[in-house]
Amino acid sequence: MGLELKYIKGQTLIDEEEKEGLKIKSITIQSELDEFEQMNIEKAVEWTMRTKVKPERVLSQEYIKTLHKMMYGEVWKWAGEFRKTEKNIGVRWTNIEIELKKLIDDARYWVENKTFPAEEIAIRFKHRLVSIHCFPNGNGRHSRMMADIIMESIFKKEIFPWHQSNMVKPNEVRANYIGALKVADKGNIEPLIAFAMR
């Protein structure tokens, strides 16, 4: 029996080839996958707390890929590797590295020139990162963790309180998050900043 996934609104579909990358073959249903992914993510959070990373390294392709691998590497073989398939959201897979380089360059400029307040830089980075959709799955959680790491490592500020909410479950919090992302897609980042800081 293969992995049976139930998708909720706004979630990226995993294709059959990507499903083959599941390391734990005993996982057959969504709730089991969610549980194993959450345990892996908790280990990644501990890793980020133990590992002091230089601010300039946070804004790098290498770190972005490493963090994804730390978050999902115990569950998926392709963790930390850019997707090679088209998705319902995100840039064409062949443009991932180009768009990510633009984002990293922009973010470094924002930090160096104090273009926006710290919270706005972190959220703008998070929004663009999830819009690129670098990986087959886990982009939302990965981009939120990146925003937290930017706040902590670059700006020496508290992380956002959104980690206290479960945005994987289809509830009002997730609906508000998806709504704020859609508004940000149209150029208004304010609702997403407000959501992150609530």
Give the domains, in start order, of the chain with CATH numbers.
16-197 (1.10.3290.10)
What is the C-alpha to C-alpha distance for residues 82 and 62, in angstroms, rounded to an integer? Answer: 11
pLDDT for res 138: 94
Please give the helix or strand (H or E) that residue 98 lies within, else none: helix 96-113
Are 58 and 149 contacting, i.e. CB atoms less than 8 angstroms apart? yes
Those residues whose C-beta lies under 8 Å from the C-beta of residue 30, and which sit 6 or more positions away, are 4, 5, 6
Rounded-to-integer distance, Cα 94 and Cα 179, Å: 28
Residue 10's pLDDT band (cuts 50, 70, 90): low
CA 12 to chain centre: 12
pLDDT for the residue numbered 169: 66
User: Does pLDDT of 31 surpass 60?
Assistant: yes
Using the predicted structure, report yes or no on whether residue 15 has a pLDDT greater than 90: no
pLDDT at 171 over 90: no
Confidence of residue 170 (pLDDT cuts 50, 70, 90): low
Residues 5-25, mean pLDDT to the nearest whole number: 79
